[in-house]
Structure 1
Amino acid sequence: MSEKPAWLKPHGRPWGVSSSQVVYDNPWITVTEYQAIAPTGRPALYGKIGFKNQAIGVLPLHADGTVTLVGQNRFSLANYSWELPEGGAPHGEDPLDGARRELAEEVGLRAADWRQILRMELSNSVTDEIATGFLAMDLSPTETAPDETEDLAVARVPFREALDAAVDGHMPDAITVALLLRVHLMAVRGDLPAELAALIL
């Protein structure tokens, strides 16, 4: 990881809170309403969605330069989404353990080479959701165990084809776009084995 540039520093005052109230709660999220004080000193009403799991994404990169993707119907946007294997890990669990579990459950793969390559705030204006992304290599098959609500399709495609689909808007899932771009940058920078980088580029 490169050294943090000097300009990456906070400015101004942080948000303040006068009072808060939980207005919704289920096993996955909590919605809290705040009487807040903005950095400008002005009062503000704020709502925050708190996530009870951290988001996990895995880019399974095979030795031939292909990646494994999953397709599924998503509830929130009522669309069909092709994306990398993803899921959640409870706060307090090692994100790598969650990544191993999701890779096996969703696409029936295990990896001998794991690298944490990205950490993201997915929607930091109204949620506290954090995502951790992994690159998984040296892959071998294992048993799948999808969630009882998941009806998953699986596809293995060339990395460049997946990257092009993501940046052209055909795979708009944020974790998928970010991880594909991150691994492409790793190939450009020489952070991957030379033969594998050549297949990606």
Structure 2
Amino acid sequence: MSSARSQWKIHGERVVDENRHIRLSTVDVELPDGTRFTQYVARMPRCAMTLVLDDQRRALLMYRHRFIVDQWVWELPGGYVDHAENVAAAAAREVEEETGWRPRTMTKLVSFQPSIGSLDQPQEIYLARGADRVDTDPDINEAEAVRWIPLTEAAEMIETGEIVGAATVVAIYRALTLTP
């Protein structure tokens, strides 16, 4: 396997667009068999999301419209990690800003890349056990509704297409394997 890997060649990269949320480029690639092509590559900042579970194994989820897929979905609170920000602190901050709940604990659950064929966007999911309601209301631009949903019901929502985002799917399925 290492010999094939060493035969991949990158002949150059050209930035198409870049801002604080994305770096889009084209990369000229040569495969081990000599095939050449141009691949679009998107690089995005690290994201941190949190699966907040209460003592009844209910997940704190947000209902929001995602215009890119033109669909209303349920998902975890989360967002970009600021440059020097601690990832766990960023995940907790996003929960509070987006839902009006402050996590009691933060434990790293899983890291993953959602689409490594053309996208570099590190995803960090944290598990919070319990949360306390804070005085601030959730950001109206983030969620239409915030609800505690039983973990087993959330898993069913994946099957019905009410939950489609990769981070939420990964977190729900991972949480089902955890002991209470």
Q: TM-score normalised to the size of structure 1?
A: 0.80
Q: Percent identity of the aligned residues?
A: 25
How far apart are the structure 2 equivalents of 1:65 and 1:182? 13
Q: Give 1:157 shift.
A: 1.7
In structure 2, stretches of 5+ residues that fail to align are none
Distance of aligned partners of 1:145 and 1:45 in 2 relative to their CA distance in 1, 3 Å threshold? farther
The one of 127, 130, 136 aligned to 2:128? 136
The one of 14, 17, 26 aligned to 1:33? 26
* 1:46 alignment counterpart: 39
How far apart are the structure 2 equivalents of 1:143 and 1:123? 37
Q: Give 1:57 shift.
A: 1.6
How far apart are the structure 1 equivalents of 2:110 and 2:3? 25
Q: In structure 1, the residue corresponding to 2:119 is in which secondary structure?
A: coil
Letter of the structure 2 residue corresponding to residue 17 of structure 1: I
What CA RMSD, in Å, does the superposition of the two structures yield over aligned residues?
A: 2.1
How far apart are the structure 2 equivalents of 1:145 and 1:54? 26
* 1:121 alignment counterpart: 113
In structure 1, stretches of 5+ residues that fail to align are 1-8, 188-196
Q: How many residues align?
A: 179
Q: Is the 8 Å Cα contact of residues 106 and 144 (structure 1) preserved in structure 2?
A: no
* 2:61 alignment counterpart: 69
- Judge which range, 153-162 or 35-44, deviates more: 35-44
Letter of the structure 1 residue corresponding to residue 107 of structure 2: R
* 1:193 alignment counterpart: none
Q: TM-score normalised to the size of structure 2?
A: 0.88
The one of 159, 165, 168 aligned to 2:151? 159
